[in-house]
Amino acid sequence: MNSPQSVSSPSSNIPLSLSFFCMILHPALQSPPSSFPFGYAPLLSLLVPSQLLLHDALEPHMSKKTIDMHWGEYHRNFIEGLNKQLEKDDILYGYTLDELVKVTYNNGNPFPQFHNAAEVWNHDFFWESMQPGGGDMPKLGLLQQIEKDFGSFTNFRKKFVLAALTLFGSGWVWLVLKREEKKLEIIQTSNAICPIVWDDIPLINLDLWEHAYYLDYRNDTAKYVDVFMNHLISWEAAAVRLTRGEAFVNLGEPKIPIA
For residue 182, give the CATH number of its domain: 3.55.40.20
Task: Look at residues 128, 157, 172 and tell me which one is the last residue of a structural domain.
Answer: 128
pLDDT computed for residue 53 by the predictor: 56
Q: Are residues 124 and 221 in the same domain?
A: no
Q: Are residues 25 and 119 in the same domain?
A: yes
Residue 190 lies in a domain: yes
Structural contact between residues 116 and 211, judged by C-beta atoms closer than 8 angstroms: no
Residue 232 lies in a domain: yes
Q: Are residues 68 and 122 in the same domain?
A: yes
Q: 183 or 76: which carries more pLDDT confidence?
A: 183
Nearest in space to 132 (alpha carbons), one of 51, 69, 78, 70: 51
* pLDDT interval class at 72 (50, 70, 90): confident
Give the span between the Cα atoms of 122 and 171, in whole angstroms. 10
Residue 78 lies in a domain: yes
Residue 118 lies in a domain: yes
Q: Are residues 124 and 196 in the same domain?
A: no
Residue 162 lies in a domain: yes
Q: Are residues 233 and 152 in the same domain?
A: yes
Q: Are residues 176 and 115 in the same domain?
A: no
Give the span between the Cα atoms of 194 and 198, in whole angstroms. 8
Give the span between the Cα atoms of 150 and 159, in whole angstroms. 9
Q: Are residues 204 and 158 in the same domain?
A: yes
pLDDT computed for residue 46 by the predictor: 55
Q: Are residues 89 and 166 in the same domain?
A: no
Task: Look at residues 69, 94, 128 and tell me which one is the last residue of a structural domain.
Answer: 128
At 1-42, the pLDDT tens digits run 444 333 333 333 333 223 233 333 232 223 333 332 222 234
Q: Are residues 120 and 189 in the same domain?
A: no
Counting the structural domains of the chain, the total is 2
Nearest in space to 113 (alpha carbons), one of 126, 102, 122, 127: 102
Nearest in space to 97 (alpha carbons), one of 239, 194, 179, 173: 194
CA distances from 53 to 107, 135, 250 (A): 37, 21, 37
Residue 172, C-beta contacts closer than 8 angstroms, at least 6 positions apart: 122, 188, 189, 193, 194, 205, 206, 207, 208
Residue 10 lies in a domain: no
Most confidently predicted of 27-36, 51-60, 71-80: 71-80
At 131-158, the pLDDT tens digits run 999 998 999 899 999 999 999 999 999 9
Q: Are residues 241 and 147 in the same domain?
A: yes
At 194-228, the pLDDT tens digits run 999 999 999 999 999 988 889 899 999 999 999 99
Residue 109 pLDDT greater than 90, yes or no: yes
pLDDT computed for residue 236 by the predictor: 95
For residue 58, give the CATH number of its domain: 1.10.287.990
Task: Give the mean model confidence (pLDDT) for residues 59-78.
Answer: 86
Q: Are residues 185 and 164 in the same domain?
A: yes
Task: Look at residues 128, 162, 177 and tell me which one is the last residue of a structural domain.
Answer: 128
Most confidently predicted of 43-57, 195-209, 244-258: 195-209
Q: Are residues 120 and 145 in the same domain?
A: no
Residue 259 lies in a domain: no
In terms of residue numbers, what domain contains 203? Answer: 140-245
Residue 193 lies in a domain: yes
* pLDDT interval class at 254 (50, 70, 90): low
Instruction: Tell me whether strands 46-49 and 171-178 are parallel, antiparallel or unpaired.
Output: unpaired
Give the span between the Cα atoms of 164 and 212, in whole angstroms. 13
